[in-house]
C-alpha cells in the first residue's frame, strides 16, 4: 500500500514537472504584439561608437521589429526555442523588406532580420510562421505611413523646433483610432534633452487588429521632444 502511494505520488510529481517543462520550452506565450518603427537619423545620432554605414540616414520611419509581448512582464518573451531564421527566398518579399526593414546601422539587412526573428519571431511562431511574420510586418508598415501622418500634421524634421508628447501622438491616434506609444533617445550631447526615436503600434494576439498600447511611454515626461 505504502509502495503504491509513493509511486502514485511520484507519478503526480513527474507529470507536474513534465507539464512545467512543456510549458516553458519554446513556448510563445504572449498577450499582444508591439509593432516598432524607428526614425533612422535618431539611430545614427545615438549610435556613436561606430557611425552608421550610410552617412545620410533614410528620412522615413522603418521597421525595427514585431515583438510578441506580455502585459505584466516587459522583458519577456524572447529567444524562444522555435526554428531559427532561414534565408528569405521570395525576391518580392526581400525587396519589400529592403525598403521597409533595412538595417540602418550596419547595412546588413539579413543579419538584422535574423536577429529580430530569432529573438522575437520565434516566440509567436505558433501564430505567424517566418514567412507570415515578415509579410505581416511589411503590411503593417504599408498600411499606416507614419512619416506621412506626421507630415500632414506639420511634424517634420526641424533643427530647432520641439514638440510635446501629445502633439506627436494625437495625429497618429486620429488616423489609427488607437493609442500608440512613443520612445525617445536622450541627446548624447545635451542632458535632459530627447529625440523622437520610435513609434509603437499595438496589435492583438493574431496581429490583425490594432489595439491601444498601454505600456508606459519611453520618453521623459515634460521634456520637449526634438525630431531631426
Ligand atoms: C506574462 O508574464 C508573467 C510573469 O512572468 C507570467 O506569469 C504570465 O504567464 C505571462 N503571460 C503570458 C500570456 O505568457
Ligand atoms: C537573446 O539573444 C540575443 C542575441 O543572441 C542576446 O543579445 C540577448 O541578450 C538574449 N536575450 C535574453 C533575454 O536572453
Ligand atoms: C551579413 O550577415 C550575415 C549573417 O550574420 C553574414 O552571413 C553575411 O556574411 C553578412 N553580409 C555582409 C555583406 O557582411
Ligand atoms: C510615406 O510618406 C512619405 C511622406 O509623404 C513619402 O515620401 C513616402 O513615399 C511614403 N511611403 C510609402 C511606402 O508610401
Ligand atoms: C491629415 O490632416 C487632416 C487635418 O488634420 C486630417 O483630417 C486627416 O485625417 C489627415 N490625414 C492623414 C492621412 O494623416
Ligand atoms: C493593459 O491592457 C491589458 C488588456 O486590457 C490589461 O490586462 C493590462 O492590465 C493593462 N496594463 C496596464 C499597465 O494598464
Distance separating alpha carbons of residues 197 and 99, to the nearest angstrom: 18
pLDDT attached to residue 94 = 97
**Which is the closest atom of ligand 2 to the Cα of 79?**
1
Atom of ligand 6 nearest to the CA of 214: 1
- Residue 223 to residue 191: CA distance in whole angstroms: 11
Residues comprising the chain, all counted: 228
CA of 56 to the centre of ligand 4 (A): 18
Question: Exposed e or buried b for every residue in 42-55, given b needs 16+ CB within 10 A?
Answer: bbbbebeeeebeee
Domains and CATH numbers, the chain: 28-226 (3.90.730.10)
Contact 143, 69 (CB under 8 A): no
Cis peptide before 48 (omega within 30 of 0): no
- To test ligand 3's pocket by mutation, which of 108, 114, 116, 118 has the most ligand atoms within 8 angstroms of CB? 108
- Residue 164, ligand 3, Cβ within 6 A: no
Buried b (16+ CB within 10 A) or exposed e, 10-31: eeeeeeeeeeeeeeeebebebe
Does the beta carbon of 10 lie inside 6 Å of ligand 6?
Answer: no
Q: What is the pLDDT of residue 103?
A: 96
pLDDT score at 74: 81
Residue 199: what pLDDT? 98
**Given this model, what pLDDT does residue 2 score?**
52
Q: Is 127 exposed, middle or buried (0-12, 13-18, 19+ CB in 10 A)?
A: middle
- Give the Cα-Cα-Cα angle 105, 119, 140 (nearest 5 degrees): 70
| Residue 61 CA to ligand 5 centre (angstroms) | 18
**Whole-prediction pTM:** 0.88
User: Does ligand 1 lie within 6 Å of residue 70's CB atom?
Assistant: yes
**d(CA 214, ligand 6 centre) in Å:** 6
Nearest-ligand number for the alpha carbon of 60: 4
| Residues taking part in catalysis | 64, 116, 120
Predicted local distance difference test score (pLDDT) of residue 22: 41
Q: Which residue has the cell 511562431?
A: 125
What pLDDT does residue 173 have? 98
Q: What are the pLDDT tens digits along the chain (228 aa)?
A: 455 455 545 444 444 444 444 444 446 699 999 999 999 999 999 876 788 988 889 999 999 999 999 999 887 789 999 899 999 989 999 999 999 999 999 999 999 999 999 999 999 999 999 999 999 999 999 999 999 999 999 999 999 999 999 999 999 999 999 999 999 999 888 888 999 999 999 999 999 999 999 998 899 998 999 999
The SS3 call for residue 83 is: coil
Amino acid at each position: 500500500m505504502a509502495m503504491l502511494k509513493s509511486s502514485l505520488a511520484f507519478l503526480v510529481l513527474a507529470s507536474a514537472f513534465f507539464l512545467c517543462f512543456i510549458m516553458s520550452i519554446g513556448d510563445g506565450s504572449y498577450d499582444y504584439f508591439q509593432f516598432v518603427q524607428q526614425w533612422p537619423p535618431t539611430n545614427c545620432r545615438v549610435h556613436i561608437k561606430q557611425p552608421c554605414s550610410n552617412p545620410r540616414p533614410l528620412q522615413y520611419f522603418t521597421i525595427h521589429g514585431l515583438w510578441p509581448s506580455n502585459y505584466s512582464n516587459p522583458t519577456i518573451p524572447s529567444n524562444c526555442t522555435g526554428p531559427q531564421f532561414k534565408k528569405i527566398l521570395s525576391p518580392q518579399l526581400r525587396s519589400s523588406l529592403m525598403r521597409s526593414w533595412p538595417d540602418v546601422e550596419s547595412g546588413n539587412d539579413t543579419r538584422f532580420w535574423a536577429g529580430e526573428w530569432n529573438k522575437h519571431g520565434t516566440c509567436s511562431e505558433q501564430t505567424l510562421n517566418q514567412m507570415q511574420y515578415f509579410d505581416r510586418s511589411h503590411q503593417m508598415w504599408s498600411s499606416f505611413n507614419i512619416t506621412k501622418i506626421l507630415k500632414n500634421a506639420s511634424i517634420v524634421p526641424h533643427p530647432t523646433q520641439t514638440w510635446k508628447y501629445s502633439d506627436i501622438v494625437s495625429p497618429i491616434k486620429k488616423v489609427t483610432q488607437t493609442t500608440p506609444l512613443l520612445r525617445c533617445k536622450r541627446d548624447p550631447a545635451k542632458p535632459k534633452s530627447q529625440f523622437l526615436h520610435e513609434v509603437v503600434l499595438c496589435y492583438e494576439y493574431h496581429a490583425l487588429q490594432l489595439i491601444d498600447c498601454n505600456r508606459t511611454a519611453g520618453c521623459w515626461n515634460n521634456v520637449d521632444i526634438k525630431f531631426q
